[in-house]
Amino acid sequence: MYTDSQVRNLSNIQQKLRGNLSSWNGASRSENKKKFWEYLGIRMRQRRLELGYTQTRIARICDCTFQQVQKREKGTNKIPLDDLLILCEATHTDWDYFFRPLRKLNKKLYINGRDDE
């Protein structure tokens, strides 16, 4: 069961996800790449909160600092593929958790994005 605070946080995350995904249409390839890393960070934060984990606990799992986790969740830093895989294994999260919404909405980095000028 979630606390009121967790429900608010998860609701805010859903709003951020919708905003992120809706902004992909018509964006350039480089803009879509940035939005992709933001999207992954949002999903990472969502999963962390669903599990009730702290950023410090995720940092220990991924062998990085909690500041790096903060930056990844904001989309400032890219999430290394091996860290994402370790996170999935450690939290028993299916890899598809991160990518299913992209496939469902047919969001692609290059096809949806216009060529950079």
Average pLDDT over residues 58-74: 96
Locate 78 and state its tokens: 């890219």
Q: What is the reported pLDDT for 62?
A: 94
Q: What is the reported pLDDT for 2?
A: 67
Give Cβ neighbours of residue 106 (< 8 Å, ≥ 6 apart). 112
Phi, psi angles (nearest 5°) of residue 28: -75, 170
Q: How far is CA 70 from the centre of its chain?
A: 11
Q: 115 falls in which pLDDT band (50, 70, 90)?
A: low
Sign of CA dihedral 14, 55, 38, 97: negative
Q: Domains in the chain, ordered, with CATH?
A: 4-104 (1.10.260.40)
% the chain with pLDDT above 90: 54
Q: What are the pLDDT digits (tens) for 30-56?
A: 888 888 999 999 999 999 999 999 999
Least confident of 56-60, 84-88, 111-115: 111-115
Q: What is the reported pLDDT for 79?
A: 94
How far lies 54's CA from each of 51, 59, 60, in Å? Answer: 9, 9, 10
- The partner residues of 68 in beta bridges, in order of sequence, read none
